[in-house]
Amino acid sequence: MQSSNKPLFILKHLIFWGTGSISLIVLVLFVGIWQTSDRLLTKVENFLQPQPVKPQVNIPTLVVKQIKGVEELTTTVYTMETTVPTSAERKLGDFVVATTQLLYIGHGEVRAGIDLSQITTEDIEVSDNKIVINLPPPQILDSKIDVHQSRVYDYNRGFLNLGPDVAPDLQTLAQQHTLAKIVNSACQEGILDKANEKAKNAIAQLLANTGYNKIEIKTASLPSSTCQNLGTNL
């Protein structure tokens, strides 16, 4: 090769390699921009694509609705028959002329339980596999005299029937005393405690299929004096 052509040969190689390097750089830049744009486009598509709806269940609300479906849970019924004497006197001044006596055999019934309509979501606590339910206090739901099984056993106006003829009044008074006596007896026998216990068992069975491993039901206790007031205020 002639010495005069060497510079030209070298220049051609430099241009070739230079052009190749530039092309390579351009190619690398293009690939980088394409990959970046592709990732950016994928992110934009994921952002714009509607996300799947994840349904959620409000457990306390669901439990409240399930319990309230039972409405009023009557758990304990107490029945009793008792004899109640009543009387009325006829007087002249301070002197008793005659006495009317009425003997009443009364048959009564007391129902105690829990009003489930009082339960709210605040009474439900949920954590992991445990659900805690705070029940409202038990109460006397109803107390009544069974007039079909109750009767006046004896009515006596005394000597020569001089006693006042007040049978309806004495019977009403006897029924009032009968009902109070039956309510008092039911409270002394722990009717509210029995109502609590049966309510716990009933609600535990009601919620047995909710999927929770542990169901704790808390009850509220009331003294017998409060029980009697609940019965007399009906």
pLDDT in tens, 142-180: 999 999 999 999 999 998 899 999 999 999 999 999 999
First to last CA, the chain: 128
Residue that wins the pLDDT comparison between 151 and 200: 151
What tokens does 146 get? 């069974």
Where residue 62 falls among pLDDT bands split at 50, 70, 90?
Answer: low
Residue that wins the pLDDT comparison between 191 and 35: 191
Identify whether residues 25 and 71 lie together within a single domain: no
Identify whether residues 41 and 90 lie together within a single domain: no
The residue from 12, 33, 53 where one domain ends is 53
Angle, vertex CA 96, rays to CA 90 and CA 98, nearest 5: 55
C-alpha closest to that of 67 among 142, 129, 141, 134: 134
| Amino acid at residue number 225 | S
Show the domain range for 3: 1-53
Where residue 226 falls among pLDDT bands split at 50, 70, 90?
Answer: confident
The residue from 28, 53, 78 where one domain ends is 53
The residue from 35, 53, 71 where one domain ends is 53
**Mean pLDDT score of the chain:** 77
**What percent of the chain is predicted at pLDDT more than 90?**
36
Q: What's the pLDDT score for residue 178?
A: 93
Domain count of the fold of the chain: 2
Identify whether residues 72 and 28 lie together within a single domain: no
Identify whether residues 148 and 226 lie together within a single domain: yes
Identify whether residues 205 and 90 lie together within a single domain: yes
Identify whether residues 167 and 100 lie together within a single domain: yes
pLDDT in tens, 75-92: 799 999 999 999 999 998
Ordered alpha helix ranges (H), 94-166: none
Q: What's the pLDDT score for residue 47?
A: 54
Identify whether residues 49 and 117 lie together within a single domain: no
Report d(CA 72, CA 113) in Å as an integer.
Answer: 8
Whether the full predicted model's pTM is greater than 0.85, yes or no, is: no
Q: Is the pLDDT of residue 17 over 60?
A: no
Report d(CA 230, CA 234) in Å as an integer.
Answer: 7
